[in-house]
Structure 1
Amino acid sequence: MPDFPPAAHRGVRAAGVPQNGAEIAQAVLVVVAVLYFARDLLVPLALAVLLSFVLAPVARALRRIGIPRAAGVLAAVMAGVSVIGTLGLVMGRQLAELAGDIPLYQAELMRKLATLRASGGIMDRVRDMLRGLADGAERAERAAAAPEPAQVLAADRVVPLPVQVQQPDPAPFAVLQGVLEPLLYPLATFGIVVVLVIFILLYREDLRDRVIRLVGAEDLHRTMAAMDDAAYRLSRYFLAQTAMNAAYGVFITAALFFIGVPQPMLWGIVAGLMRFVPFVGTFIAAGFPLLLALAVDPGWGIPLMVLVLFAVSEGLMGQVFEPLVFGRSTGLSPVAVIAAATFWTWLWGPIGLIVSMPLTVCLVVLGRHVERFEFLEVALGDRPPLDPPATFYQRALAGDADALAEQAEGVMREKRLSAYYDTVALPALALAQADALRGSFATERLAALRARLATLVEDLEEEAEDDRAPGPGLAEMEDNPPPPDPPPPPGVLVPPGAVLCLAGRGAFDEALAAMLAQVLRKRGFGAVAAPADLLRGGDLAGFEPETVRQAWFCTVQGGASVAASRYLLRRLRRRFPQAQVATLVVGAEGRLPEALRAEGAVAVEGGLGEAARAAQRLAPQAAASTTPAMG
């Protein structure tokens, strides 16, 4: 049954954020200020949290094989420190070798740049022209500021004395200070991170309980289970991502070694680290070896191979291996990824760029499991911010026909046409009807919205409404999906006009009647839709009363009063006396369905799928009442 929004709450519920705009602005400013001015404290803390997520699965694995908890934590941390220290030493050695070879590479780069300038043509002439203009302006300025001849003679009498400043040889302590001072802050930060990681892994349950106490929880059991599940999933994700990036770095190192790029281990490590940086990380990782390839190769073969290497490897990582390992995306929207990378880089510099993706993933998981921080998932996550009916309604209001069609195609990959209408379109009609009752629509806007709905129904006319097994999405909604519906009796409900879907007087009843008629046609009925004006006066507009076997009265709750609906139903019965009369009421919450049942009609409240099944049940009765002329 479609999930229609209740009458008192048909809008879109706001995420869990403060409602006061001034409070939101103050909170954002305070958070940003704290992150910026306390970065010396928060950067080690953030690195420790992320590193603890990576090492937590290792510590759990060591504990499962019988190693005590403290020993397992220390072993996991020491292993991580050894790996990081080894990478740092390798990078330092490779950078020292690169610095010594830079003069050798500079000549080849200058030669290639000279070759490009020689083939530039018009660009060189434009540059020379601009340089000539600048030199001419400078000469004119010097001529205007030239001193008088008398001043020149006086100035000639002054002979400047050469001055040379010599610094004394530095003391050994000063040399040692100059070497160690740049390393002091990174080493201190690294030591703080190691200590924090050890304590986080040792006391992670206690930290979890304190977070729960600070945030609050109405259901302690579910909150603890959610946080444990989130921490477990994050640990597995970050460990898998670290392993994938490490494998990527090893592959890049080997490939650059065989291509002939100097210092391949350095660029492999950089490539692995840059895999944590979204979008721009690949360009940064490819830029350095590409520049070095230009410097070592007299031709263009090695640079082209480097470009092909990074293009192919990045495509395979992003489109093949990561979906295969992770099963799905990181849970971040593309806009949020770019915004997060920019924000954290502005706050914390290069470290912020590297940790931007993991930190943002943690924030999204926090918003997904803690109701108070739900706004984080809404702002940063890749889940649709609106539910499908609200998205349908918003697209229809905006007149975005392409987005409506795209949504319909996406839903119908797994569901029938009737299931799409029941779960998306009909709840959206209930939202639109609620707005119409409040007088939210101008006449022109209402007419445009109804026209878009009619166009959508026409566009879906070619879609199949077969009896295939429901897809995964439908199986999740219906644990026991109904069996395939039998076809209607041959020759009774198949001719066009045998089933009449009559719209009520509501603003969106014609769209509902058109959807029902379309679904019934897909299932073998000769169904046609008709407006409520059909019952006004004596002209039946081409409909022959004796040919109508079933007459369906379609209305959206709130479109007309109970009295008006009962009146239309009675006129429908008088105009088509031989037809089986049924009603379809969408968003029913009041006494309208009961009132229509009191008139002797079969009242359906569930949706188009249930209405189609009701039509199948009424078909034998229609066959029994068929006249000889119809046979």
Structure 2
Amino acid sequence: MPQDTASKLQARPIPVPSAAPESPPVTTMLMILALIMVTLYVGRDLLVPIALAVLLSFVLAPLVSRLRRWRVPRVPAVAAVVALLFVVIAGFGLMVGTQIADLAGNAPTYERNIRQKIQSLEGAGQGGGLVSRVSSMVRHLRSDIQQAASPEKPPSPGVNPDTPPAQTPVLVRVEDDASPVEVLGNYLGPVLAPLATLGMVLVFTLFILLQREDLRDRFIRLAGSGDLSRTTVAMNDAGKRVSRYLLMQVVVNALFGIPVGIGLWLIGVPNPALWGLLAFVLRFVPFAGPVIAVSFPLLLSIAVDPGWTMPLLTAGLFVVLELFSNNVVEPWLYGPATGMSAVAIIVSAVFWTTLWGPVGLLLATPLTVCLVVLGRHVPQLHFLEVMFGDRPVLPDEAKVYQRLLAGDPEEAIEICEATLEQGEFPALLDRVLLPALSLAEQDRQRGTLLPEGRHAVATGMAALLESLGDLGASATSPGTGRILCIAGRNELDEAAARLLSERLRRDGADAPVIACAELSPRHIDRLDAAGVRAAAVSYLNPSALSHARRTVARLRRRLGPGVPILLCLWEAHPEADAPRRATAETAADRVATNIGAAVEQLEELGGAVTLNAAE
């Protein structure tokens, strides 16, 4: 074999079989979430009492800590707190049972009132009451549907069709093979199941409070003992948020339940203490709780009052209290306590109710709060905080850029107006609008922003500035001269120059915007240099110093050596190397990196530029 051929063969790379592609992280995450959901659903009989016990431990832990500070040993302190919880639950059940028994004793009176209301409805109107007419219509429709579904068979030959069919006797056999144990289980099962769950919850709560420190250490070991700081912060944050949520919920429910009891007592609804207590408890259940709370006293008021005054007053009482609680009390106390968005509360309620039923609806908010806290402190679970947290996931500048890029400046204008309510117009320029243009420039340098996108951002920014109006603007001062706000290379630089022009115009200066095309070698001689006292050249790309050097040279030749030139490198950090090198490399008089600094530099450049409004 020739030597050159052998060397070519040796130099040829040997193909290596590629390894199997790794599973995408999204697919792995979805598989883990599916496994977690199946586990939560299958093990709900055990997990629900544990979740309730953990929730109760958050409520009772401060009481145990208070007793511990009073030098009470741990075991007696925990036993006393759990015994107090048992007494409260038993007292609640006794009170509810007593009120229900009293309510049942007056059932005959309520039945007579309900019959009178039905008879009054049936007798209302001419030609039969409303109820009777509706009932008759329903009966006729049902009869017609049954006849259409079961057509009559033709009579057999020799059989008189008017003769009624013979009735076939039906054999009925009564079997009573159920054992006494089965009968007892059928009657006591619905009662014993909640009691068994309550017993499990109390036992779990007792052991969680007794072994609180040990369980915390085990959780830290599972989460990773190498990062004690992050794990401790996450646990403290979760505990504080859940405790704050429960405390605020108790206050909100009390401010709702107590007025309900007092109002129903004034209206005359029987057993007002029962309905006030149920309103307090049921408001722990999101969405469905208030509806259930109003239904019982409303139906009772219909049964008690022969007329309709009491039901209307009862409905009005609940409507007024619900509006006051939702619009005044909850935003003041409960709203910021969870750290969850409104959509997250709805989604969590649907999710946990689907998995665990009514108990899941009760636990939805506390469990999701814990997930949000984990997403805030664990990088791998950050998507939970993004999906369910109440903190903005995008800064204002990113939202403004996104809306301008989408060709929808109206929402960007709303964001700017909200920012103006909290600060001044110069802060809006430097903290929102200029960073938004910097994001667009970064996308342009990466090649992800097409010319159509640049045009949409530039035109949208111009429309945004025009929509903000002339609030805070001063009249142009005569004799101050013109300050040219010049675009460096593209439409985005022109939009940045327009921001500076708007700021100078609001300060009372005449600051026209010059497009980058007007500085080309063919058009520079057409630039109007009369009355120009300064020029500011805008670049969103701080690395474009060679282009800036040529632009400054053309402006020197056209405007003359006596006109100061300010180079604005908007994206450059004030302490970066680019601003320090820019003066020497471009021969500009000054360099500015934000609009506030640009205004100060223009004020300091020779006394040629005078602005009416100070920074």
Tell me how far apart the structure 2 counterparts of residues 552 and 341 of structure 1 sit (CA, whole Å). Answer: 56
The answer for the alignment partner of 2:231 in structure 1 is 223
Name the amino acid aligned to 2:509.
F
- Select which of 243, 247, 264 maps to 1:239: 247
CA RMSD of aligned residues (A): 3.6
The answer for the alignment partner of 1:571 in structure 2 is 554
Which runs of structure 2 are paired with 1:600-615 in the superposition (5 Å)? 600-615=587-602
Secondary structure of the equivalent of 1:527?
A: coil
Deviation for aligned residue 1:405: 1.7
Which runs of structure 2 are paired with 1:578-593 in the superposition (5 Å)? 578-588=562-572, 593=579
Secondary structure of the equivalent of 2:489?
A: coil
Which runs of structure 2 are paired with 1:482-501 in the superposition (5 Å)? 495=479, 498-501=482-485
Structure 2 contact 496–540 (Cα < 8 Å) conserved: yes
Structure 2 contact 405–457 (Cα < 8 Å) conserved: yes
Secondary structure of the equivalent of 1:262?
A: coil
Q: Judging changes above 3 Å, is the alpha-carbon distance between structure 1 residues 609 and 226 closer, same or farther for their aligned structure 2 residues?
A: farther
The answer for the alignment partner of 2:264 in structure 1 is 256
Q: Deviations over 1:522-580 (max 9, x none)?
A: 3343333221233236878997524222211111117x843222211221232222322
Structure 1 contact 497–543 (Cα < 8 Å) conserved: no
Q: Deviations over 1:347-396 (max 9, x none)?
A: 11111112212222222222223333222111111111222222222222
Which runs of structure 2 are paired with 1:404-553 in the superposition (5 Å)? 404-464=412-472, 495=479, 498-536=482-520, 544-553=528-537
Structure 2 contact 238–369 (Cα < 8 Å) conserved: no
Secondary structure of the equivalent of 1:551?
A: strand
Name the amino acid aligned to 1:448.
A
Deviation for aligned residue 1:137: 4.6
Residue 318 in structure 1 maps to residue 305 in structure 2: no
Tell me how far apart the structure 1 counterparts of residues 120 and 356 of structure 2 sit (CA, whole Å). Answer: 40
Secondary structure of the equivalent of 2:270?
A: coil
Tell me how far apart the structure 2 counterparts of residues 44 and 528 of structure 1 sit (CA, whole Å). Answer: 71
The answer for the alignment partner of 2:12 in structure 1 is none
Deviation for aligned residue 1:500: 1.7
Structure 1 contact 436–507 (Cα < 8 Å) conserved: no
- Select which of 404, 408, 428 maps to 1:400: 408
The answer for the alignment partner of 2:274 in structure 1 is 266
Structure 1 contact 276–357 (Cα < 8 Å) conserved: no
Tell me how far apart the structure 1 counterparts of residues 102 and 370 of structure 2 sit (CA, whole Å). Answer: 38
Deviation for aligned residue 1:111: 5.3
Q: Judging changes above 3 Å, is the alpha-carbon distance between structure 1 residues 440 and 72 closer, same or farther for their aligned structure 2 residues?
A: same
Name the amino acid aligned to 1:290.
L
Deviation for aligned residue 1:231: 1.5
Q: Judging changes above 3 Å, is the alpha-carbon distance between structure 1 residues 93 and 457 closer, same or farther for their aligned structure 2 residues?
A: same
Structure 1 contact 498–526 (Cα < 8 Å) conserved: yes
Which runs of structure 2 are paired with 1:117-128 in the superposition (5 Å)? none
Of residues 595-604 and 253-262 in structure 1, the stretch that sits farther from structure 2 once superposed is 595-604
The answer for the alignment partner of 2:78 in structure 1 is 73
- Select which of 202, 206, 213 maps to 1:194: 202
Q: Judging changes above 3 Å, is the alpha-carbon distance between structure 1 residues 326 and 132 closer, same or farther for their aligned structure 2 residues?
A: closer
Deviation for aligned residue 1:98: 4.2
The answer for the alignment partner of 1:379 in structure 2 is 387
Name the amino acid aligned to 2:541.
Q
Name the amino acid aligned to 2:350.
T
- Select which of 580, 601, 605 maps to 1:618: 605
Name the amino acid aligned to 2:292.
I
Q: Judging changes above 3 Å, is the alpha-carbon distance between structure 1 residues 569 and 541 closer, same or farther for their aligned structure 2 residues?
A: closer
Higher relative contact order (CA 8 A, sep 6+): 1
Secondary structure of the equivalent of 1:584?
A: strand
- Select which of 282, 297, 319 maps to 1:289: 297
Q: Judging changes above 3 Å, is the alpha-carbon distance between structure 1 residues 156 and 121 closer, same or farther for their aligned structure 2 residues?
A: closer
Tell me how far apart the structure 2 counterparts of residues 318 and 542 of structure 1 sit (CA, whole Å). Answer: 65
Of residues 175-184 and 28-37 in structure 1, the stretch that sits farther from structure 2 once superposed is 175-184
Q: Deviations over 1:113-171 (max 9, x none)?
A: 66667579999978866753542353466552365266789997776277474859996
Tell me how far apart the structure 2 counterparts of residues 42 and 605 of structure 1 sit (CA, whole Å). Answer: 61
The answer for the alignment partner of 1:160 in structure 2 is 169
Structure 1 contact 461–518 (Cα < 8 Å) conserved: no
Structure 1 contact 56–235 (Cα < 8 Å) conserved: no
Tell me how far apart the structure 2 counterparts of residues 49 and 88 of structure 1 sit (CA, whole Å). Answer: 22
Structure 1 contact 494–524 (Cα < 8 Å) conserved: no
The answer for the alignment partner of 1:596 in structure 2 is 582
Of residues 341-350 and 114-123 in structure 1, the stretch that sits farther from structure 2 once superposed is 114-123
Tell me how far apart the structure 1 counterparts of residues 503 and 440 of structure 2 sit (CA, whole Å). Answer: 21
Deviation for aligned residue 1:74: 2.2
The answer for the alignment partner of 2:545 in structure 1 is 562
Q: Judging changes above 3 Å, is the alpha-carbon distance between structure 1 residues 141 and 561 closer, same or farther for their aligned structure 2 residues?
A: closer
Tell me how far apart the structure 2 counterparts of residues 351 and 73 of structure 1 sit (CA, whole Å). Answer: 25
Of residues 614-623 and 121-130 in structure 1, the stretch that sits farther from structure 2 once superposed is 121-130
Tell me how far apart the structure 1 counterparts of residues 216 and 605 of structure 2 sit (CA, whole Å). Answer: 59
Q: Normalized against structure 1, the TM-score is what?
A: 0.81
Tell me how far apart the structure 1 counterparts of residues 303 and 288 of structure 2 sit (CA, whole Å). Answer: 23
Name the amino acid aligned to 1:440.
T
Q: Deviations over 1:412-450 (max 9, x none)?
A: 222222222222222221221122234434444432232
Structure 2 contact 242–366 (Cα < 8 Å) conserved: no
Structure 2 contact 602–609 (Cα < 8 Å) conserved: no
The answer for the alignment partner of 2:362 in structure 1 is 354
Structure 1 contact 275–282 (Cα < 8 Å) conserved: yes
Secondary structure of the equivalent of 1:525?
A: coil
Of residues 592-601 and 500-509 in structure 1, the stretch that sits farther from structure 2 once superposed is 592-601
Tell me how far apart the structure 2 counterparts of residues 156 and 510 of structure 1 sit (CA, whole Å). Answer: 96
Q: Deviations over 1:198-242 (max 9, x none)?
A: 222233333223222222366423432442243134324323422
Tell me how far apart the structure 1 counterparts of residues 168 and 322 of structure 2 sit (CA, whole Å). Answer: 66
Structure 2 contact 121–131 (Cα < 8 Å) conserved: no
Secondary structure of the equivalent of 1:221?
A: helix
Secondary structure of the equivalent of 2:548?
A: helix
Tell me how far apart the structure 2 counterparts of residues 245 and 523 of structure 1 sit (CA, whole Å). Answer: 53
Report the identity percentage. Answer: 41
Q: Judging changes above 3 Å, is the alpha-carbon distance between structure 1 residues 511 and 124 closer, same or farther for their aligned structure 2 residues?
A: farther
Residue 205 in structure 1 maps to residue 189 in structure 2: no
Name the amino acid aligned to 1:450.
A
Name the amino acid aligned to 1:362.
C
Secondary structure of the equivalent of 2:572?
A: coil
What residue ranges of structure 2 are gaps of 5+ in the alignment?
A: 1-22, 611-615
Q: Judging changes above 3 Å, is the alpha-carbon distance between structure 1 residues 170 and 26 closer, same or farther for their aligned structure 2 residues?
A: closer
Q: Normalized against structure 2, the TM-score is what?
A: 0.83
Q: Judging changes above 3 Å, is the alpha-carbon distance between structure 1 residues 600 and 565 closer, same or farther for their aligned structure 2 residues?
A: closer
Q: Judging changes above 3 Å, is the alpha-carbon distance between structure 1 residues 203 and 93 closer, same or farther for their aligned structure 2 residues?
A: same
Which structure has the bigger radius of gyration? 2
Residue 304 in structure 1 maps to residue 312 in structure 2: yes
Q: Deviations over 1:323-355 (max 9, x none)?
A: 444573532211111111111111111111122
Secondary structure of the equivalent of 1:582?
A: strand
The answer for the alignment partner of 1:63 in structure 2 is 68
The answer for the alignment partner of 2:613 in structure 1 is none
Secondary structure of the equivalent of 2:421?
A: coil
Q: Judging changes above 3 Å, is the alpha-carbon distance between structure 1 residues 523 and 368 closer, same or farther for their aligned structure 2 residues?
A: same
Secondary structure of the equivalent of 1:501?
A: strand
What residue ranges of structure 1 are gaps of 5+ in the alignment?
A: 1-17, 467-489, 624-631
Number of positions where the alignment pairs a residue of Structure 1 with one of Structure 2:
580
